[in-house]
Amino acid sequence: MKRTAVEFRNVTKSYGDKVVIDNLNLSIPQGHIVVLVGPSGCGKTTTMKMINRLIEPTSGEVFVFNQDVRKPDRAELRRRIGYVIQQIGLFPHMTIAENISLVPRLTNGKKGHDLTKIDQLLELVGLDAASYRDRYPAELSGGQQQRVGVARALMANPPIILMDEPFSALDPITREQLQDELIRLNEELHKTIVFVTHDMDEALKIADTIIIMGGGRVIQQGSPDHILRHPANEFVRGFLGEKRLSSHRSHTVADVMLPNPVKMSRYKGLAEAVQTMQRKRVTSILVADQDGRYRGIADTSDIYKRFHEESMTLGDVMRTNVPTLLPEMPLSEAISQVQNAPFGHVPVVNAEGKLVGLMTRASLVDLLAKPYLEEAMASGE
Amino acid sequence: MVNEWLTTFADRWTDIVDSSLQHITLSLIALFWAILIAVPLGILLTRYRKLAGLVMGIVSVLQTIPSLALLGFLIPVFGIGSVPAILAMVAYALLPILRNTYTGILDVDAPLLEAGRGMGMTRSQQLRMVELPLARPMIFAGIRTATVMTIGVATLASFIGAGGLGDLILRGISMVDTGVILAGAIPAAVLAILFDLLLAWVDRMVTPKGLRIRKEVN
Ligand SMILES: Nc1ncnc2c1ncn2[C@@H]1O[C@H](COP(=O)(O)OP(=O)(O)OP(=O)(O)O)[C@@H](O)[C@H]1O
Ligand SMILES: [Mg+2]
């Protein structure tokens, strides 16, 4: 059972008549990266700032490790919670080391910090301690500055770190790097990280738990995988976007079948059938009427067994007892049937009895390879 | 003519030095009080911003009273001598320091204050560690302006018997002796320039390296 790091109980925040957070109940588990995500103005920042009391709720209670946040002194509370903001907020008149050691210096005065800890943290966030320790923020790139921002938040070893869109001002490459490093870092440190973003890709990438907010309420909370598989409603669906959903939606037979299998009328002679099969390089042929009505399937062996009987047509040799699939059948159910089919071929026939496609074992392999093919195509653009 | 002036300078050398020292002393005392009042007041106004307009208005009005008139107002209350002179000088020096302290602190980037607050700075730590260091160049600029003004106003202090280089100027006027007038006026101008340069140098020396880099980048 995971401990709860932060808990909101019936929290409401309003400015005048405007209700910004509407009776919020929320429980944030310890040791995870929890991402608050939602459209602009939905109250993510407000929610986050109520944890370290930069904003006070109008009503309700906020608890940090089961203690009401109003109990400790405000400054005291904040020193136990790391804080990283989008604008980075390094103090320009202080060196990198002075910036990182800020929180312990607030508590213990000038000498109240551990110099080796500063170096360790610099290395932890991927900066060479010897060359950056005594520099000033203005000498660093935005990405390097935010690394220092993260190191500064870690200095007092707080169990909880709040991050408000920490990477959104950075260029895409740097952002990706810092996201990767945050994930790596927390595999090591197991902090409770409350991370605010409005970028769904970022949320899906770094989150252990995603909290989707909209209009001052929690719409859905769950793992990225859970949310992709079971979006709670249209709002979540819309926020995720069709593209992300389709790559995770459960597939149906129609998604992967061959839509235009080789087919012939049951009145065709066997010689003609063989010729078509040779031309199209297939080992079985589907039999259907002009209007598309499915009749059966004939394999090479079925045809050759009776080939010498010149009066025979496809209708005489085809098998009619082969199981078929409905196009809307979930793939998970179809897989075993495809595996057990006599030639690994299963006709797909819709409710009106019309032939719409053919499932083969090869279709399943294609499905597995699809994400990789798409990736290869995207990077080749 | 220039030769005449030079002899006047040589003859009155000790007078010039004495008057200059008096002048500097008066100015420094006035500046000391002006800083002592205007900087804390400026800080206070950033905390009670509603009062800022009113207070700044009063101080600006002081500034618009012609200096001779101000000295005249002060005589009935404080008589003559260095006290009313210094009071008048303080009144003039207040505005630039007050205004620059106020705007200097309000100009500090909001995200820096938010970061500080979010990390658990108390109000006084925020002032000491963030606001004052970052507003310091601005406050210093206000003090420089005030210094130059004070050294100028100090010349008028002689009218109410406070001494200083104004004495020489007044004497020169009554004697209709340009050389004596210049013996007061030139050192006064030189003092103003020297103090300005000195403060500019001090400003550079005390500006943290991190802020100088920022200036170069911008
Ligand atoms: N001091 C304030 N006075 C009035 N309304 C406010 C105040 N602060 C925030 N709001 C409103 O509260 C709502 C939520 O703001 P909040 O900053 O939490 O949004 P957000 O989800 O963080 O948005 P974004 O993604 O744009 O940062 C917004 O509609 C905003 O206009
Ligand atoms: Mg926000």
- The backbone region for A7, taken as left when phi is positive above 0, alpha when psi lies in -120 to 50, beta otherwise, is beta
Q: Is the domain of A106 the same as that of A172?
A: yes
- From atom 14 of ligand 1, which residue's Cα is the shortest distance away? A43
Is residue B29 predicted with pLDDT exceeding 90? yes
Q: Each residue of A206-229: pLDDT tens digit? A: 999 999 999 999 999 999 989 988
* Contacting residues for A226 by C-beta, under 8 A, at least 6 apart: none
Is residue A26 predicted with pLDDT exceeding 80? yes
Closest partner residue to A93 among B117, B122, B208, by Cβ? B208
pLDDT score at A373? 63
pLDDT score at B27? 95
Q: Is the domain of A229 the same as that of A276?
A: no
**CB–CB of B111 and A85 under 8 A?**
yes
**CB–CB of A92 and B111 under 8 A?**
no
Q: What percent of chain B has pLDDT over 70?
A: 98
CATH for B42? 1.10.3720.10
Determine, yes or no, domain membership for A371. no
Q: Is the domain of A27 the same as that of A171?
A: yes
Q: Is the domain of A193 the same as that of A325?
A: no
Q: Tell me the average pLDDT across A277-291.
A: 88
Beta strands in chain A (DSSP E): 4-15, 18-29, 33-37, 59-64, 67-68, 81-85, 160-164, 192-197, 209-214, 217-222, 263-264, 284-288, 294-299, 345-349, 355-360
Q: Tell me the average pLDDT across B128-142.
A: 95
- The backbone region for A215, taken as left when phi is positive above 0, alpha when psi lies in -120 to 50, beta otherwise, is left
Q: Is the domain of A132 the same as that of A110?
A: yes
Domain boundary among A223, A248, A273: A248
Mean pLDDT is lowest, of A26-40, A105-119, A177-191, for A105-119
Q: What CA–CA distance (Å, rounded) separates A369 from A283? A: 24
Give whichever of A149-158, A318-327, B201-210 has the largest mean pLDDT.
A149-158
Question: What's CA A8's distance to the chain center, in Å?
Answer: 25
pLDDT score at B215? 55
Determine, yes or no, domain membership for A222. yes
Q: What distance in Å separates residue A185's CA from the closest CA in chain B? A: 21
Mean pLDDT is lowest, of A73-87, A276-290, B101-115, for A276-290
Q: What CA–CA distance (Å, rounded) separates A141 from A122? A: 15
Determine, yes or no, domain membership for A98. yes
Number of neighbouring beta carbons within 10 Å of residue A59: 10
Q: Tell me the average pLDDT across A71-82.
A: 95
| Structural domain harbouring A237 | 4-248
Cβ–Cβ < 8 Å for A22, A44: no
Give A375's pLDDT tier (boundaries 50, 70, 90): low
Is residue A255 predicted with pLDDT exceeding 70? yes
Determine, yes or no, domain membership for B180. yes
Query: Beta partners for A19?
Result: A14
> CA of A241: how far to CAs of A40, A218, A238, B197, in Å?
16, 18, 5, 64
Q: What CA–CA distance (Å, rounded) separates A221 from A178? A: 24
Closest partner residue to B121 among A93, A106, A139, by Cβ? A106
pLDDT score at B156? 87
Domain boundary among A248, A270, A291: A248
Q: Is the domain of A214 the same as that of A70?
A: yes
Q: Tell me the average pLDDT across B45-73.
A: 90
Q: Tell me the average pLDDT across A107-122.
A: 84
Q: Is the domain of A224 the same as that of A342?
A: no
ipTM of the complex: 0.85
Q: Each residue of B81-112: pLDDT tens digit? A: 889 999 999 999 999 999 999 999 999 999 99
Q: Is the domain of A174 the same as that of A306?
A: no
For a ligand 1 pocket test, name from A15, A19, A164 the mutation site with the most ligand atoms within 8 angstroms of its C-beta: A15
Q: Amino acid identity, residue B209?
A: K
Is residue B124 predicted with pLDDT exceeding 50? yes
Judged by a CB distance cut-off of 8 A, whether residue B133 touches chain A is yes
Q: Is the domain of A48 the same as that of A192?
A: yes
CATH for A325? 3.10.580.10
How many residues belong to chain B? 218
> CA of A110: how far to CAs of A102, A104, B35, B125, B206, in Å?
9, 9, 27, 12, 19
Q: What CA–CA distance (Å, rounded) separates A76 from A81? A: 9
Tally of structural domains, chain A: 2
**CB–CB of B118 and A102 under 8 A?**
no
Q: Tell me the average pLDDT across A92-116.
A: 88
Closest partner residue to B118 among A52, A95, A139, by Cβ? A52
Determine, yes or no, domain membership for B218. no
Q: Tell me the average pLDDT across A2-19.
A: 94
Give B218's pLDDT tier (boundaries 50, 70, 90): very low
pLDDT score at A381? 46
Is residue A378 predicted with pLDDT exceeding 70? no
Q: Is the domain of A69 the same as that of A11?
A: yes
* Greatest alpha-carbon span in chain B: 70
Chosen for mutation from B113, B114, B119, B124 (greatest number of chain A CBs closer than 10 Å) is B119
Q: Which B positions 191-210 lie with beta carbon below 8 A of chain A?
A: 208-210
Across chain B, mean pLDDT equals 91
Is residue A53 predicted with pLDDT exceeding 70? yes
Q: Is the domain of A321 the same as that of A217?
A: no
Give A379's pLDDT tier (boundaries 50, 70, 90): low
Q: What CA–CA distance (Å, rounded) separates A150 from B121? A: 18
**CB–CB of B120 and A92 under 8 A?**
no
pLDDT score at B144? 95
Determine, yes or no, domain membership for A118. yes
Tally of structural domains, chain B: 1
> Ligand 1 pocket: which residues have CB below 6 Å?
A 15, 18, 20, 38, 40-46, 198
Which atom of ligand 1 is the closest one to the Cα of A46? 18
Cβ–Cβ < 8 Å for A215, A291: no
> CA of A27: how far to CAs of A3, A64, A187, A189, in Å?
10, 10, 21, 21
Q: What CA–CA distance (Å, rounded) separates A285 from A298? A: 5
Domain boundary among A182, A213, A248: A248
Determine, yes or no, domain membership for A152. yes
Nearest-by-CA chain B residue for A135 = B210
CATH for A86? 3.40.50.300
Q: Is the domain of A147 the same as that of A26?
A: yes
Is residue A310 predicted with pLDDT exceeding 90? no
| Structural domain harbouring B167 | 2-213
Q: Which one is predicted more confidently, B77 or A379?
A: B77
Cβ–Cβ < 8 Å for A194, A6: yes
Q: What percent of chain A has pLDDT over 70?
A: 93
Chosen for mutation from A52, A74, A102, A110 (greatest number of chain B CBs closer than 10 Å) is A102
